Structure 1
């Protein structure tokens, strides 16, 4: 009997890995830690309650060893890693995507370790929910839908080759993920039947906004009501029939700017700025350690936690103000890059009708800076009537994955018809 093919969408960000497995969403930090001596304390596989609780929480307790021909660095094959939250909360040395390196995301082994580990955990959860013995060896066939930064896909001539090269890291052979979280090994064999590689930013702009849930469209309309109340009717038309649209997808490591002209993506004009909110945090953290009023903050993660704290304690509030001051010192560089990109687009396409700003970095930039005013000034300077819309904090970070899910449902629907 032929196995069902499972649907896995994966928006692998420099800061967070967002996606869904069989359309059930997940978010994990894009962090791994190599286990040199011992990882997590193993869970007793004979304790039913402990097994259930651990399986339910498996994404946060991932300790894996992967056997795969997809590794670029052969030394990573058969190494043991903590993945995602398990790595983030451990005391082991953390590996993240280096937002300052020129290395392409798709060439890194993290771009293999993270999705393989998460897929394996999800297969275990699915098997356990179906009453299967998860310690007897599991397997799954998967269709993967993912995306890469626009300029990392190269030119019109090289794009398909790069997509194929990344896809082949998954499809060339099976991958065996050994989960070491229990005192009995769980072995999961993953077979990727098909890997669809799309463009970050474009899938959000072209698919998610037009075909997304009503709640998203209502949130967009709320932004228009608040900031451009006389343009509400225009906004409805621009959402339902996007023709000349610019997306500004502000991530951790990059800012993707897909340009849609006459309803089609202009590949040559679309661009990726090699600068995201992650660099702002990194630069802010470095500057913070040189400030006279700085205090002891051990890691960038702790620095970010202080910045986003909701604490009402007066000392926490004072610390947050100092951290915010450090971050503010590095924000102008990113804002200037985004403003410059918009000016270039307006010069190229004066008929631009709407600009959607989204991505995980878009919210702090809206809340903490004058980026919105700067972009509106650019529009005014070019006498452009394009409508500037900020996607709300619920959907801004997940808009790319929402686009992947919409695309996946179309492809899966076509397969069922055939």
Structure 2
């Protein structure tokens, strides 16, 4: 059974997947586990389907037939993966291999879309498909780090397009497998950070007001009085610093257009802070096995019984954050030396922005001041809770326009890659 084409913006972050499919936003950890022993599998009963569908991302058991996924093992996702006790498959923030080259990207992208299709079918029919098969056509916008985009975007896009053939995702949660055939009709691969700027440009009034307040509070003498949030996001020459878990992208816009020559990627992100903290704690005998486990511990309020341990872990992590802030600010100086004379606004955002703010913001201010005391340059530092969605919202806006552009006969080279 084929549904009408869906529109999908997928931000496959090193820490979390952010997906916007037909306006429905889902967020879940960028992890999976491979299953090598599936003999203990107990299929769901009909009475259990409703509960499963409400938490499908965290409960699904999938296999893949796709050029995006080379291995054939079944995989678990989300909370079920975390609690399985099996070795986590997660993006290696220190590896030289990029997102476009590892199975996990395809696993997460295809799994998200397949989950959406099956969920939609169940919501309408309150049953699984009698044929055991569903089909879906997709208009997709996704992204790669700027450095990786320059080398691999074209090949990555071709894997999705798959010469017009479908990708097959199989659910193994039920008495009979359910196959979802996914056909990508239109695909755009953006630069990370570039797509976030599109999200800023299309921000709603509440978000624009937050942006204005964030900029103005850094200038207590009234230098930015009268400036609006729209003024800030509409600036033609900007630097966006997108702090992810595995990379930091420095996205430069010149005269309102993305400038790939001046933009760059730093192949470390907030995940490297967590990895360094994890190594030190493991040397001290702490039992944490993954940065995801460590991150969950740090971001939950401690109980009276864990307060002392939490404080020690927090102190170790802050020491690593401060060291990493020096590295990032040094990298900003390199970018600023190329485009600083033209830059009007700096935006700092992403999932790693808030944890680093206490250390990084002052370092950025000092770097900017090196280029002249009269340089009225707002640094808009956006809270991670809001800004982690900028990339996916920008990607969704792009995906909405792909079919219209193709149908109107506008011929564009969707992905430029060397």
TM > 0.5 between the two?
yes
The separation in 2 between residues aligned to 1:326 and 1:135, in whole angstroms, is 55
In the alignment, does 2:193 pair up with 1:201?
Answer: yes
1: distance between equivalents of 2:380 and 2:296?
28
Q: CA deviation at 1:41?
A: 5.0
In 2, Cα distance between the equivalents of 1:290 and 1:69? 40
Matched, 1:344 2:334: yes
> Is residue 2:179 matched to residue 1:187?
yes
Counterpart of 1:364 (choices 352, 355, 378) is 355
Q: Does 1:149 align with 2:138?
A: no
CA distance in 2, matches of 1:216, 1:39: 50
Instruction: Verify the 8 A CA contact 2:271 2:291 in the aligned structure 1.
Output: no
Deviates more, 1:342-351 or 1:185-194: 342-351
User: CA separation in 1, counterparts of 2:118 and 2:2?
Assistant: 19
Please say if 1:377 is aligned against 2:375: no
Residue 327 (structure 2) pairs with residue 329 (structure 1): no
Inter-partner Cα distance in structure 1 for 2:27 and 2:241: 22
TM-score (norm 1): 0.89
1:259-316 Cα offsets, whole Å, 9 max, x none, are 112222221110101110001000011012234xx644344333222211223x3332
Is the alpha carbon distance of 1:329 and 1:186 closer, same or farther for their aligned partners in structure 2, counting shifts above 3 Å?
same
2:90 matched to which residue of 1? Answer: 96
1:207-218 aligned within 5 A? 207-218=198-209
Question: Could you tell me how far apart the structure 2 residues matched to 1:319 and 1:63 are?
Answer: 35
- Residue in structure 2 matched with residue 69 of structure 1 by the alignment: 67
Q: How far 1:414 sits from its partner (Å)? A: 4.4
Matching residue of 2:273 = 280
Structure 2 residue aligned with 1:307? 298
Query: 1:90/1:237 Cα in 2 relative to 1: closer, same or farther (>3 Å)?
Result: same
1:60 is matched with 58
1:218-244: CA deviation from partner (whole Å, max 9, x where unpaired): 221221243235214335453252211
1:269 aligned onto 2:262: yes
8 Å CA contact retained: 2:186, 2:403? no
Residue equivalent to 1:123: 117
Q: Quick one: higher RCO (CA 8 Å, sep 6+), 1 or 2? A: 2
Cα gap change, 1:298 to 1:237, in 2 (>3 Å)? closer
Checking the alignment, whether the CA contact within 8 Å between 1:29 and 1:84 is kept in structure 2 is yes
Task: Provide the rounded CA distance (Å) in 1 between the counterparts of 2:286 and 2:63.
Answer: 38
**3-state SS of the aligned residue for 1:280?**
helix
* 1:145–1:314 Cα change, 3 Å: same
With 233-242 and 256-265 compared, the bigger mean Cα shift is at 233-242
Deviations 1:320-376 (A, max 9, x none): 21111221232234312321222223322213111000000001111xx32111101
TM-superposed deviation, 1:417: 6.5
**243, 249, 254: which one aligns with 2:242:** 249
Q: 1:148 to 1:298 in 2, by over 3 A?
A: closer
Question: Equivalent residue of 1:301, what SS?
Answer: helix
The 8 Å contact of residues 379 and 385 in structure 1, kept in 2 or not, is answered as: no
Once structures 1 and 2 are overlaid, which stretch shifts more, 5-14 or 300-309?
A: 300-309
Greater shift after overlay, 84-93 or 5-14?
A: 84-93
Which residue does the alignment assign to 2:108?
114
Task: Give ranges in structure 1 of 5+ residues lacking alignment.
Answer: none
